[in-house]
């Protein structure tokens, strides 16, 4: 009854050895069993409540371990969690465990208390814990080694996720193993749930943390982005300022080119005028000063031109015009142009080529500029020996080598000679002159054309410069307008053709033409007036466009010389107006300017049909007279000698040179002028008429001539009995033997190849004229 009423300890006290005694004992055993089962159930219920009460991992395991200690009569309980790599059981929480025993266990060395539990995946109960156990725990009486221990593997699916360890210094409570086995599934599920929940919680927290960081980063990025926007705005502004500065610089340069060249041109031109007028009128020493002024003026002008070239290249304003031309012909022209300096030093210029027809598509003016500099330097820095210019094609490039036997360049200076204003050493400029800009410009031009220049040199042994240019220049900014430019002779920095023996104004029919000069520069006016009046023409002067209009209302001039940079209405607009008015639409106009002409401006000038464009600084008196002359008498082919009768000329042999290339003409004249009188003709037709008029002692006939070629001109001359006795020597660039034979087969007396080599030249002439 009492058991029924809840007293689980109530037992029957009947102990006699009779049937009731046996029954009473059985009942008592059953009651004990019921009591034990009831206790186990209540422990299980209690543990379930405990393990469900906490969510936080730490709190959960603490509560669970406490309940296990209580229900199993342990003194120590600890839990170990499997790490992510499943290699280590990490100590997590314990009750009653010594600090030194709070360690983790590797699953790779499975031994001792944990080993069997993990291997068997079953709860392990060990009664006599070995002395060397790692489990030591504190009691009020000190530190003890347990006597009994239980190891409980917690399994999720097939994986061990944790291990719980219980230990006691005496014995576990009865039926503890049954209790533990009963609750193991529930406990494992709950542990898995708590660990999973906490893992998710942790991930969530991490995620939140990451989100917070991302938000922080985002706001930082927003700040940076607004800073960048501000920087961009500043950069944009700086760029605008730079563009503006660059525009101003370009304007400044363009104006400076005008402002500097104009006065310099005056200095050069007027010193020229004075030298002519004062010749034999002032003491020789003072007369010499004029020459110095002119020479230095020219040097300064060269320097300014170089500086402007460099600035234009650096400002990216250099325009490139592509045409196809023969490199060897160009070298020949340049050699002929520079020949006088070489002849002076008795240097031989030798040209060598793998192929006489080496064509290149590139900018002809820039190529000429580069080569003129390289060959010019070779001559300048060589005192004796020879200059060898060799060309060859290699793959898609043309290689041009200029090799001299000159002073060479010391090793330590080699890396710098392409730098601006760099000369091998200061004394070079004192001795040889120059500005140190030539190679810098040459290199920049070569680079612009997609090529390179390099140098090999040894002090005292000579130098070898190598220019390599692509055979076909390619760039998007390729401009090909050269073809229709032939009508305008631009630029006019060509060699000077001195019409020494030409003078047209002796013919009264040609006199008294009226030329309107429009220029605001006083010294330019004096210079041009002087030279035009010398030619026998009348000059009207207008200092600006309005004055020009006033004059034109009264008189339509035969020709005009026009400056471009003038106040108020500039030369471009003036030109446009006169072209739009019927009476002046066809008046030839020669534009004479110190301004750098851009491509656009050149187009405009061409559209308005100017006769010729001459850069003020680049031209000399005779050339200007020639230009004025060709403007007034475009058809003139008859060129008469200046106030001389033929007998005077006959004092020295008279040689007629028929040559259209000004460079070659100047070379031939330079060679001949000491011992011969030279008259010139620039095409076949002119050659024939001059031969008829002057019956020269010798004719030097270029073969490739415009209008009538040299062979046909020769045949024409030979048809006239009065001329057949005149020896005619062919001058030609064709070096091929069979061409030489063809030319000789026509009957020419001899043949001189170009480039002209002085000794050979005179040998042939002497042979033809004097048979020696
Ligand atoms: P410069 O106007 O002084 O000739 P460059 O730029 O053309 O200027 O040449 C720079 C320097 O390089 C020259 O002053 C000279 O010292 C050296 N140099 C150039 N070419 C040669 C050469 N063929 N032989 C020796 N030195 C040379």
Q: Please check whether residues 709 and 629 belong to one and the same domain.
A: no
The ligand 1 atom nearest the CA atom of 407: 25
Q: Please check whether residues 665 and 749 belong to one and the same domain.
A: yes
pLDDT at position 1, please? Answer: 56
Model pLDDT for residues 406-451, shown as the tens digit of each residue: 999 999 888 888 987 666 655 555 456 566 789 999 999 999 999 9
The ligand 1 atom nearest the CA atom of 422: 10
Q: Please check whether residues 336 and 390 belong to one and the same domain.
A: yes
The ligand 1 atom nearest the CA atom of 465: 23
- Within 10 Å of residue 117's Cβ, how many Cβ atoms? 23
- Asked whether residue 501 is assigned to any structural domain, the reply reads no
Cα(667)–Cα(678) distance, rounded to whole angstroms?
A: 12
Residues with Cβ within 8 Å of residue 192, at least 6 apart in sequence: 154, 156, 161
Q: Please check whether residues 168 and 307 belong to one and the same domain.
A: no
Question: Does residue 345 register a pLDDT over 90?
Answer: no
The CATH number assigned to the domain holding 83 equals 3.30.450.40
pLDDT at position 284, please? Answer: 85
The CATH number assigned to the domain holding 733 equals 3.40.50.2300
Cα(63)–Cα(84) distance, rounded to whole angstroms?
A: 24
Q: What share of the chain is helix, strand, coil (3-state, %, to 5)?
A: 50, 20, 30
- Asked whether residue 612 is assigned to any structural domain, the reply reads yes
Q: Please check whether residues 98 and 247 belong to one and the same domain.
A: no
Strand partners, 149: 126, 167
334 Cα: distance to centroid of ligand 1 (angstroms): 18
Cα(57)–Cα(171) distance, rounded to whole angstroms?
A: 29
Residue with tokens 């073809």: 483
How many residues are recorded in the chain?
Answer: 772
Q: Please check whether residues 90 and 132 belong to one and the same domain.
A: yes
CB neighbour burial string for 419-436, b if at least 16 within 10 angstroms, e if fewer: ebeebbeeebeeeeebbb
pLDDT at position 207, please? Answer: 92
DSSP label at 413?
G
The CATH number assigned to the domain holding 239 equals 1.10.287.130
The CATH number assigned to the domain holding 397 equals 3.30.565.10
Q: Is the pTM of this model over 0.75?
A: no
Q: What is the mean pLDDT of residues 363-374?
A: 93
Domain count within the chain:
5
**What is the Cα Rg of the chain in Å?**
55
Select from 309, 373, 378, 438 the residue to mutate for testing ligand 1; criterion: most ligand atoms less than 8 Å from CB.
Answer: 438
Task: Give the DSSP per-residue string, 486-526.
Answer: TTS-----SPP---TTB--TTSGGG---EEEEE-S-HHHHH
Helix 19-53 vs helix 57-72: angle between axes, to the nearest 10 degrees?
170
pLDDT at position 515, please? Answer: 93
Cα(392)–Cα(302) distance, rounded to whole angstroms?
A: 32
Question: Does residue 487 register a pLDDT over 50?
Answer: no
- Asked whether residue 2 is assigned to any structural domain, the reply reads no
Q: Please check whether residues 104 and 216 belong to one and the same domain.
A: no
Structural domain ending residue among the three candidates 282, 298, 315: 315
How far is C-alpha 171 from the geometric centre of its chain's CA atoms?
91
CA dihedral angle for residue 278, residue 280, residue 282, residue 284, rounded to 10 degrees: 120
Residue 511's pLDDT band, with cuts at 50, 70 and 90, is: low
Structural domain ending residue among the three candidates 637, 669, 687: 637
Structural domain ending residue among the three candidates 291, 315, 339: 315
Select from 370, 385, 436 the residue to mutate for testing ligand 1; criterion: most ligand atoms less than 8 Å from CB.
Answer: 436
pLDDT at position 422, please? Answer: 63
- Asked whether residue 180 is assigned to any structural domain, the reply reads no
Q: Please check whether residues 521 and 612 belong to one and the same domain.
A: yes
479: left (phi over 0), alpha (psi -120 to 50) or beta: beta
- Asked whether residue 42 is assigned to any structural domain, the reply reads no
454 Cα: distance to centroid of ligand 1 (angstroms): 13
- Asked whether residue 714 is assigned to any structural domain, the reply reads yes
Q: Work out the mean pLDDT of the chain and round it to a whole number.
A: 80
pLDDT at position 129, please? Answer: 76
Q: Please check whether residues 621 and 658 belong to one and the same domain.
A: no
- Asked whether residue 25 is assigned to any structural domain, the reply reads no
Q: Please check whether residues 327 and 308 belong to one and the same domain.
A: no
Which three-class secondary structure state does DSSP give residue 127? coil
Model pLDDT for residues 105-121, shown as the tens digit of each residue: 787 776 666 777 888 88
Q: Please check whether residues 466 and 525 belong to one and the same domain.
A: no
- Asked whether residue 735 is assigned to any structural domain, the reply reads yes
Task: Give the DSSP per-residue string, 143-191.
Answer: EE--SEEEEEEEEETTEEEEEEEEEESS-PPTTHHHHHHHHHHHHHHHH
Tokens (6 digits) for 443: 């290199």
Q: Please check whether residues 590 and 608 belong to one and the same domain.
A: yes
Are 732 and 680 a contacting pair, CB within 8 Å?
A: no
Give the range of the structural domain holding residue 403, as residue numbers without chain letter: 323-484
């Amino acid at each position: 009854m009492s058991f029924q009423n809840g007293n689980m300890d109530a037992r029957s006290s009947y102990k006699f050895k009779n049937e009731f005694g046996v029954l009473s004992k059985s009942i008592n055993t059953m009651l004990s069993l019921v009591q034990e089962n009831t206790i186990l159930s209540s422990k299980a219920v209690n543990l379930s409540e405990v393990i469900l009460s906490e969510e936080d991992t730490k709190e959960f395991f603490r509560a669970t371990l406490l309940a296990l200690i209580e229900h199993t009569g342990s003194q120590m309980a600890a839990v170990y969690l499997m790490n992510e790599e499943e290699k280590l059981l990490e100590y997590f929480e314990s009750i009653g465990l010594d600090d030194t025993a709070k360690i983790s266990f590797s699953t790779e060395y499975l031994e001792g208390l944990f080993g069997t539990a993990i291997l068997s995946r079953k709860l392990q109960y060990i009664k006599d814990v070995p002395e060397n156990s790692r489990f030591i725990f504190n009691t009020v009486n000190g530190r003890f080694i347990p006597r009994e221990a239980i190891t409980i593997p917690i399994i999720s699916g097939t994986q061990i996720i944790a291990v719980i360890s219980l230990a006691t210094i005496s014995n576990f409570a009865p039926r503890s193993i049954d209790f533990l086995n009963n609750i193991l599934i529930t406990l494992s599920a709950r542990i898995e749930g708590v660990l999973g929940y906490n893992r998710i919680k942790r991930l969530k927290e991490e995620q939140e943390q990451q989100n917070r960081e991302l938000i922080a980063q985002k706001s930082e990025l927003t700040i940076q982005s607004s800073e960048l926007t501000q920087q961009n705005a500043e950069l944009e502004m700086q760029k605008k300022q730079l563009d503006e500065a660059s525009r101003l610089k370009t304007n400044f340069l363009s104006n400076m080119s005008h402002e500097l060249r104009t006065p310099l041109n005056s200095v050069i031109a007027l010193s020229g005028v004075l030298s002519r007028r004062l010749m034999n009128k002032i003491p020789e020493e003072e007369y010499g000063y004029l020459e110095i002024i002119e020479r230095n003026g020219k040097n300064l002008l060269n320097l300014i031109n170089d500086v402007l070239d460099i600035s234009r290249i650096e400002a990216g304003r250099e325009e490139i015009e592509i045409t196809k031309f023969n490199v060897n012909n160009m070298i020949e022209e340049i050699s002929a142009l520079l020949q006088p300096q070489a002849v002076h030093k008795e240097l031989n210029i030798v040209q060598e080529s793998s192929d006489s027809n080496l064509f290149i598509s590139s900018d002809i003016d820039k190529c000429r500029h580069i080569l003129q500099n390289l060959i010019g330097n070779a001559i300048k820095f060589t005192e004796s020996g020879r200059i060898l210019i060799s060309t060859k094609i290699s793959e898609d490039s043309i290689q041009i080598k200029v090799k001299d036997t000159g002073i060479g360049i010391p090793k330590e200076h080699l890396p710098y000679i392409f730098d601006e204003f760099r000369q091998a050493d200061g004394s070079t400029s004192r001795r040889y002159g120059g500005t140190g800009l030539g190679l810098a410009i040459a290199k920049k031009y070569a680079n612009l054309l997609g090529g390179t220049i390099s140098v090999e040199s040894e002090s005292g042994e000579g130098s070898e410069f190598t220019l390599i240019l692509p055979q076909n220049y390619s760039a998007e900014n390729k401009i090909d307008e050269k073809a229709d430019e032939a009508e305008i002779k631009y630029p006019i920095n060509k060699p000077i053709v001195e019409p020494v023996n030409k003078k047209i104004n002796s013919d009264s029919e040609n006199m008294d033409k009226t030329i309107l000069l429009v220029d605001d520069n006083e010294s330019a006016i004096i210079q041009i007036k002087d030279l035009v009046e010398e030619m026998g023409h009348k000059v009207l002067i207008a200092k600006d466009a309005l004055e020009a209009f006033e004059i034109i209302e009264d008189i339509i001039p035969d020709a005009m010389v026009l400056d471009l940079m003038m106040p108020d209405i500039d030369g471009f607009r003036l030109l446009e107006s006169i072209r739009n008015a019927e009476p002046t639409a066809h008046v030839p106009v020669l534009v004479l300017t110190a301004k750098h002409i851009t491509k656009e401006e050149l187009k405009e000038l061409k559209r308005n049909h100017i006769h010729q464009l001459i850069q003020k600084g680049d031209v000399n008196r005779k050339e200007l007279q020639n230009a004025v002359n060709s403007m007034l008498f475009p058809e003139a082919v008859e060129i008469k000698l200046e106030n001389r009768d033929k007998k005077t000329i006959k004092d020295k042999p008279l040689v007629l040179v028929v040559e259209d290339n000004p460079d070659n003409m100047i070379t031939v004249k330079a060679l001949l002028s000491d011992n011969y009188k030279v008259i010139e003709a620039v095409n076949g037709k002119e050659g024939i008429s001059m031969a008829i008029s002057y019956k020269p002692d010798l004719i030097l006939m270029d073969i490739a001539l415009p209008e009538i070629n040299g062979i046909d001109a020769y045949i024409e001359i030979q048809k006239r009995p009065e001329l057949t006795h005149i020896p005619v020597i062919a001058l030609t660039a064709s070096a091929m033997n069979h061409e030489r034979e063809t030319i000789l087969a026509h009957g020419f007396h001899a043949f001189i190849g170009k480039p002209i080599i002085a000794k050979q030249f005179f040998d042939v002439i002497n042979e033809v004229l004097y048979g020696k």
